[in-house]
């Protein structure tokens, strides 16, 4: 008996398999093909699909407004100042620190200067407008309808006209920017709802996908356990097939030669039977011919002995040679026939079936010898399958769950606030349109004044006689100035408020958000209570929001972003090599019982050797020589009888000789038509049998050689083949497991939880809040301030220009031509 058997302690083996499969629980399973499937290549984990939230900035005045704000607030982000504010104005503090307030004012000095200018504008513009209105009502300060007519009046009018025109165009440009920024802000607010929902949905998808991905990887371990269980169930067919394949290379050659010899033996037996049958049939025909020849010879001898036969004594010696008795004997054929029967009795077919049964029984033998270990291993696999589901608990998925709950709460709050925000935005948009239209009203008045004034003006006409059209133009200019005085200070209040909100939003939120300083500032320890990500996760490394954002910008996995390697020792968990030694020892100590097997016994080999020798000793040439019937020439004797009959005078004798000659010719014809075909058939059978016997010698030699080689191979290599194939089976399984362990390592550390959507959500929020809303808001107040600033020159130019178009009540002397009188030159008299 040779083979291998599983021995040793089952307890350590179960522990080794348990830890191994626990490490392999995160591997993805691929159905094995055959006994040793190829190791599966690492596969990419399916990533979730996210909605597109990429949008372009809508701040068309972004560069101009930001340049102005950077001029107003050139100071860097006030990290230290904000920290002081957080500490000084915390609930634990009773009173604020005056030093902190002073630092705030110093930091905001640029804004304070702008506010001071705005306040001066707010105060002076209504006061100036009030006094101007009072003076005009009293007929003073430009209220007197009288205009001097100096020679430079046309030049002044044109200068004032173009100044007022340029100022109006500048105000119109600012007003257009107001309309556009107001619409951009409205569009941004309307679309922000969709964008926020997309962003939150993407975050939900990400937060939901991460546990699903981990569960997917963990669930694949169940398939791995199932595949391992299936391999254990199929260890007989798998390992047995491999052992069979190693045997077939040598044993199949021997089997083929035995099958060939068995076929040739059957063919030889059939050929011998056919030869014996042909010989018997030929001999029977020969006996009949011989009897006929003997009878004719006796008749001829009686005729020749008749005294009436003249000269008949000369043929009597030839009658003694008249015979066809040629016996065919093959002395060695009977011995050969006996050996063939003995070989047939050996039953080579049963030998072939025994070998095939031996082959087919290898798998069953492997199954039987490994039955106990397979059953115990399957029970252990069932226990490990329950433990595998606990692997995901090592990864802090509760953080993602809390974040998902927070997003749900935010989404509910947005659902409640958004309708109110949309209503407020609709009101804001309407109010802004009214403000834009009021400024547009001043522009329209200026434009109408600039149009009707020149159209109705006749430069040479008297100011008291100006047309109604020109007077209307002047009136529009005055109306525009009046509206400017009436609304500008109210608008300036709004500009200051929006400037404070939008400007500080940009300088304190948007700009540091864009350059990354805001996230780094939020990472300041203690700034936001409960924001210690490292403590919440349970890692020692310092995890910051800015670090997470930086990693998520590169679409890094959560494994590296959250330093999960500090929580889960994945490398040690998936280190298959430390368990392989114990498993290999189990295989080394195991034995599969394969029984000894003899292809051919010594008696069988001796029988085949005798068969070969007898086949070689059969002399078929002697048989061929015995079948020579060329000496039988009955027609010659018949011709002699006819010639003798011609010389006879007795009619009876003459007829007797002729009849006997005809009988000899008929016998010769029967020999040619009956005996010769049978001789040819017999000759063909002998040649075929001779060819088969010649092949038998080589086939027997091949059988003995191949069987000897196969028997030696089985005797010397069976144990080694079993061990080698067992080792190959083990190595294949280990490489199979190692490939899955590597895949799990790569998947968890490089593919699970790619956090690009988190960075995209932050960027999307920054675009919605800053690049769209804040930029549009800043563009709106900047455009309005632009218009209000140019209201001052517009008022001045409009009021001064209006007097050149309005109809005056009093006239001034105006000479278009100056009459020059000739002054005679003095003549000097020369004495």
- Domain boundaries in the chain? 62-210+423-533+762-802
User: Count of alpha carbons within 13 Å of 183, Cβ hemisphere only?
Assistant: 6
SS3 146: strand
SS3 594: strand
CA dist., res. 16 & res. 559, Å (int) = 27
Backbone phi, then psi, for 321, in 5-degree steps? -90, 0
Q: Which two tokens stand for residue 771?
A: 């690049």
Cβ atoms within 10 A of the Cβ of 247, count? 21
CA dist., res. 831 & res. 828, Å (int) = 9
CA dist., res. 494 & res. 504, Å (int) = 15
pLDDT at 35: 46
DSSP code, position 675: I
Would you state the torsion angle of the CA atoms of residues 675, 679, 681, 685, taken in this order, to the nearest 10 degrees?
A: 150
Q: Is 305 exposed, middle or buried (0-12, 13-18, 19+ CB in 10 A)?
A: exposed
Backbone phi, then psi, for 152, in 5-degree steps? -95, 15
Answering whether pTM is above 0.75, one says no
Give the angle subtended at the CA of 301 by the CAs of 299 and 302, to the nearest 5°: 65
Give 2's strand partners: 594
pLDDT at 172: 94
pLDDT at 166: 95
pLDDT at 30: 36
CA R_g for the chain: 63
CA dist., res. 512 & res. 546, Å (int) = 12
Q: Which two tokens stand for residue 375?
A: 């059953």
Sequence-separated (6 or more) residues with CB below 8 Å from residue 719:
2, 3
**Quick one: which of 15, 39, 38 has its CA closest to 579?**
15
CA dist., res. 277 & res. 553, Å (int) = 99
**Quick one: which of 680, 687, 673, 676 has its CA closest to 630?**
676
pLDDT at 437: 94
CA dist., res. 748 & res. 217, Å (int) = 8
Sequence-separated (6 or more) residues with CB below 8 Å from residue 460:
816
pLDDT at 779: 92
**Beta carbons of 319 and 300 less than 8 angstroms apart:** yes
**Beta carbons of 740 and 29 less than 8 angstroms apart:** yes
**Residue numbers of the chain with a pLDDT score lower than 50:** 1-35, 39-40, 94-95, 813-831
């Amino acid at each position: 008996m040779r083979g291998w058997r599983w021995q040793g302690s089952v307890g350590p083996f179960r522990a080794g398999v348990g830890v191994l499969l626990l490490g392999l629980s995160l591997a993805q399973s691929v159905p094995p093909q055959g006994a040793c499937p190829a190791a599966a290549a690492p596969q990419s984990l399916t990533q979730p699909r996210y909605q597109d939230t990429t949008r372009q900035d809508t701040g068309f005045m972004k560069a101009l407004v930001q340049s102005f704000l950077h001029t107003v607030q050139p100071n860097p982000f006030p990290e230290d100042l904000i920290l002081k504010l957080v500490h000084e104005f915390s609930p634990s503090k009773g009173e604020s620190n005056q030093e902190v307030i002073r630092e705030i004012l110093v930091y905001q000095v640029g804004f304070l200067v702008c506010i001071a200018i705005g306040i001066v504008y707010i105060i002076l513009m209504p006061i100036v407008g009030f006094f101007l209105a009072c003076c005009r009502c009293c007929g003073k300060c430009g209220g007197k309808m009288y205009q001097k007519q100096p020679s430079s009046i046309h030049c002044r009018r044109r200068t004032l006209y173009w100044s007022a025109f340029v100022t109006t165009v500048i105000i119109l440009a600012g007003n257009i920017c107001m309309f556009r920024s107001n619409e951009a802000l409205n569009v941004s607010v309307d679309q922000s709802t969709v964008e926020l929902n997309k962003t939150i949905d993407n975050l939900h998808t990400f937060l939901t996908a991460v546990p699903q991905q981990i569960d997917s990887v963990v669930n694949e371990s169940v398939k791995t356990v199932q595949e391992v269980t299936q391999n254990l169930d199929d260890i007989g067919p798998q390992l047995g097939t491999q052992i069979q394949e190693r045997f077939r290379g040598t044993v199949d050659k021997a089997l083929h030669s035995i099958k060939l010899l068995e076929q040739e033996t059957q063919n030889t037996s059939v050929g011998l039977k056919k030869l014996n049958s042909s010989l018997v049939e030929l001999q029977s025909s020969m006996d009949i011919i011989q009897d006929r020849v003997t009878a004719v010879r006796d008749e001829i001898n009686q005729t020749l002995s008749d005294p009436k036969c003249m000269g008949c004594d000369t043929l009597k010696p030839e009658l003694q040679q008249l015979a066809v008795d040629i016996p065919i004997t093959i002395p060695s054929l009977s011995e050969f026939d006996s050996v063939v029967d003995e070989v047939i009795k050996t039953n080579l077919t049963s030998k072939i079936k025994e070998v095939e049964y031996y082959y087919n029984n290898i798998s069953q033998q492997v199954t039987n010898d490994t039955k106990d270990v397979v059953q115990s291993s399957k029970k252990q696999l069932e226990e490990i399958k329950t433990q595998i589901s606990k692997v995901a608990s090592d990864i802090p998925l509760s953080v993602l769950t809390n974040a998902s709950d927070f997003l749900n709460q935010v989404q509910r709050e947005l659902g409640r606030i958004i309708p109110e925000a949309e209503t407020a935005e609709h009101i804001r948009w309407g109010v802004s349109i009214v403000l834009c239209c009021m400024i547009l009203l001043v522009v329209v008045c200026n434009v109408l004044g600039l149009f009707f004034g020149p159209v109705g003006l006749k430069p040479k006409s008297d100011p008291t006689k100006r047309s109604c059209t020109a007077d209307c133009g002047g009136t529009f200019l005055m109306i525009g100035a009046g509206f400017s005085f009436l609304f500008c200070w109210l608008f300036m209040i709004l500009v200051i408020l929006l400037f404070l909100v939008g400007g500080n939003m940009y300088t304190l939120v948007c700009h540091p958000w864009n350059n990354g300083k805001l996230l780094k500032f939020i990472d300041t320890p203690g700034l936001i209570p409960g924001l210690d990500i490292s403590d919440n996760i349970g890692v020692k490394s310092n995890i910051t929001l800015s670090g997470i954002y930086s990693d998520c910008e590169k679409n890094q996995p959560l494994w590296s972003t959250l330093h999960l390697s500090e929580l889960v020792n994945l490398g040690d968990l998936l280190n298959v090599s430390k368990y392989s030694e114990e498993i290999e020892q189990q295989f080394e100590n195991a034995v599969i019982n394969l029984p000894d097997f003899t292809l051919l016994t010594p008696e069988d080999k001796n029988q085949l050797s005798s068969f070969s020798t007898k086949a070689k000793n059969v002399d078929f040439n002697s048989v061929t020589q015995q079948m020579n019937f060329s000496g039988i020439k009955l027609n010659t004797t018949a011709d002699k009888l006819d010639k003798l009959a011609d010389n006879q005078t007795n009619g009876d004798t003459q007829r007797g000789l002729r009849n006997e000659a005809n009988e000899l010719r008929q016998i010769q014809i029967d020999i040619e038509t009956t005996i010769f075909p049978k001789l040819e058939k017999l000759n063909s059978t002998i040649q075929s049998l001779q060819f088969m016997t010649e092949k038998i010698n080589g086939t027997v030699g091949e059988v003995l050689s191949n069987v000897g080689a196969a028997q030696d191979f089985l005797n010397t290599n069976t144990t080694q083949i079993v061990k080698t194939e067992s080792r190959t089976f083990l190595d294949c399984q280990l490489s199979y497991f190692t490939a899955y362990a590597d895949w799990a390592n790569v998947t968890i550390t490089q593919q699970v939880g790619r956090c690009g959507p988190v960075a995209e959500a932050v960027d999307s929020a920054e675009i919605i809040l800053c690049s769209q809303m804040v930029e549009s808001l800043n563009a709106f107040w900047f455009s309005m301030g632009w218009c209000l600033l140019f209201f001052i020159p517009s008022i001045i130019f409009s009021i001064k220009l209006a007097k050149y178009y309005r109809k005056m009540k009093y006239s001034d002397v105006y000479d278009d031509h100056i009459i020059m009188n000739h002054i005679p030159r003095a003549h000097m008299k020369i004495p």
